Amino acid sequence: MNNLNYKSSNGTVVAPLMIWGPYYWSNGLLGRQDGLVWTCQDLSKDGTHPSNPIGQQKVANQLLNFFKTDTSTTPWFLKH
């Protein structure tokens, strides 16, 4: 949509680039195809938020991997 252009090579920039980020869903210990699993130790007592420090480190690793590999983030994240 032209009214949401974020890329100067496509014309006037009228909106920021918004990126969803990594995908954290997993079926607990059954995991998913890439091997991501969530154990009870990874989560706080509410069963939703990551625990400190184990779950938070897992989230940080997923986020870092996303920034290093997503085609929308690598141009600015890996820029030297």
Domain ranges of the chain: 25-80
Q: Are 60 and 18 in contact (CB under 8 A)?
A: no
What pTM was computed for the model? 0.73
Question: pLDDT for 45-74, tens place per residue?
Answer: 998 899 999 999 999 999 999 999 998 889
Contact 7, 13 (CB under 8 A): yes
Q: Which amino acid is at 19?
A: I
Distances (CA, A) of 51 to 4, 25, 36, 45: 37, 16, 16, 8
Of residues 24, 51, 47, the one with CA closest to residue 37: 24
Q: How confident is the model at residue 16 (pLDDT cuts 50, 70, 90)?
A: confident
Q: How confident is the model at residue 75 (pLDDT cuts 50, 70, 90)?
A: confident
Q: Of 2 and 20, which is predicted with more confidence? A: 20
